Amino acid sequence: MGATITIENAVKRYGNDTIINGLSLEVKPGEFFTLLGPSGCGKTTLLRMIIGFNSIEGGTFKINDRVINDIPTNKRNIGMVFQNYAVFPHMNVFDNVAFGLRNRKLPKDEIERKVNSILKVVKIDHLKDRMPANLSGGQQQRVALARAIVIEPEVLLMDEPLSNLDAKLRVEMRVEIRRLQQETGITTVYVTHDQEECFSISDQVAIMNGGKIQQMDAPETFYSHPTNEFTARFVGFENFIPLKWDGSEYRTVSGGEFHQPYAGVADIKAACRPEDIAMEAGMHPGERRLHGHVLVRTFLGKQLQYLVETPEGNFLVNTQITDRYEIGDQVTLFFAPEKTISVTA
């Protein structure tokens, strides 16, 4: 069973700049926990604070009940997989994986047993004598994974480990990473900016922006019920309608009725994904409808995407390849209640 990670009121500063201010979270034993967010949001900084590469200016970091703030990196019993693999170029696969065990002064026969065992788990036991220069990117990443796991850490940290791989290999490796994590039960904190990668492997996700957690939920909840505009945009909601509360009903800026279940909040936005907006030719009056005209048509392979200009702003709409509209066509957009969510700004 993995360890619990508890972070309370974490603070990180670089000079006069506060990168993380008062962040708190808990990762449960054996959980695959992902920090998701754009570049510069603080996710890698937080990861480096956990392992000890970055100083901690405030707050408490615990693994189980042990405060690790002042414990040296090599005494924290944490495994780390880096974005650039960090495989030692002068060592073969076996020696790379054995490195941490040798530093811990384990007996030679125990090292050999552990290394051979983990190489089989990550499916590169046939490569144990090969040098890194003769390995593919995916094979090097497996070496890095094996080296991090073989020391039997309480916690495994992974910083954008798939970003240097091609698209097909990324899909293969994320399946392997999830399999390994479930087999070993190691509590894992994973950093990525890729939402598809994140949702496919995580038990729990925290989305970060500006050094703060915007939302923390299971992937399915994140995808269907983001709580604010930033989170919604990050998970594919590209269309937002500003709504004003008139005391009894929400209305669009131009005054149209737009019933939305979020009563009493002065300013909200209705959010909808491009594939969830219905579009028809012509002007059709009614509630939850906007009228506009086509500005741009883009071919997406299995779908067409339209940019439609309306009095409430521009909207992206995805349609079937057979639903063809011309530039300048007058259209009506319909926002079905079951496919539209409410978010705060």
List the beta bridge partners of residue 178. none
In the block, tokens 């990668």 appear at 197
Domain with CATH 2.40.50.140 in the chain: 237-343
Instruction: Give the CATH number of domain 5-229; options: 3.40.50.1370, 3.40.50.300, 3.40.1390.10, 3.40.50.970.
Output: 3.40.50.300
CB contact at 8 A, 125 and 116: yes
231-258 confidence digits (pLDDT tens): 999 888 999 998 887 777 777 877 677 7
**Architecture of the CATH domain 237-343:** Beta Barrel (2.40)
Half-sphere exposure of 237 (CA within 13 A, CB side): 24
Residue spans of beta strands (DSSP E) within 48-93: 58-63, 66-67, 78-81
Average of per-residue pLDDT values in the chain: 91
Strand (E) or helix (H) holding 298: strand 289-299
pLDDT on residue 305: 97
* Torsion region of 124: left, alpha or beta (phi above 0 gives left; psi -120 to 50 gives alpha): alpha
> Which one, of 232, 243, 251, 288, lies nearest residue 267 by Cα?
243
List the beta bridge partners of residue 27. 5
Which strands make up the sheet holding 313-320, listed edge to edge?
277-281, 330-335, 289-299, 303-310, 313-320
pTM: 0.86
CB contact at 8 A, 248 and 291: no
- Cα dihedral 28, 34, 38, 40 sign: positive
Domain with CATH 3.40.50.300 in the chain: 5-229
161-202 confidence digits (pLDDT tens): 888 778 888 888 888 889 889 988 999 999 998 888 999 999
CB atoms within 10 A of CB 184: 17
CB contact at 8 A, 242 and 296: no
Average pLDDT, consecutive stretches of 10 residues, N- to C-terminus, the chain (345 residues)? 92 93 96 94 95 95 96 92 86 94 92 93 91 90 90 92 82 87 93 91 95 95 90 91 81 74 71 94 87 96 95 94 94 91 81
